[in-house]
Amino acid sequence: MEIARDVLLILHFIGMAGVLGGLLASQSKLNKGVIHSALLALVTGISLVGIRYPLHDSNPMEWALPDNAKITVKLLILVAILVLGYRNAKKEALPKNTWMAMTLLTVTNIVIAVI
């Protein structure tokens, strides 16, 4: 079970790096990889929370229960990133304010994860 958690965590990091990297690579047009990376981060994040409960049941001293408030805030931020991404996916040019909002939301999500 711990190996599955580690694989999910690596995929989650790849997803978040893809979102931030895709946004920083192009400010003029939204890269489709940003949306796919955000979806990867969403699916693996939900899976990480789901796998944490059986890990806690097997060894409560090593695996604490997830902080549901933190997870909820991170989920809402990621949903906001996805909404902004889908609304601007087919536009010729990505508005500067939208790019800035998506980038700041992504960095905020990373900071919340680390702290």
Question: Which residue is listed with tokens 């580690």?
Answer: 6
Cα distance between residue 54 and residue 44, in whole Å: 16
Question: For the chain, how far is it from start to end, CA to CA, in angstroms?
Answer: 25
pTM of the model: 0.91
Output b/e per residue, 41-57; b: 16+ Cβ within 10 A. bbebbebbbebbeebee
Overall number of domains in the chain: 1
Closest CA to 99 of 20, 21, 23: 23
Task: For residue range 36-77, list pLDDT tens digits in order.
Answer: 999 999 999 999 999 999 999 999 899 999 899 999 999 999
Structural domain including 35 reads 2-114
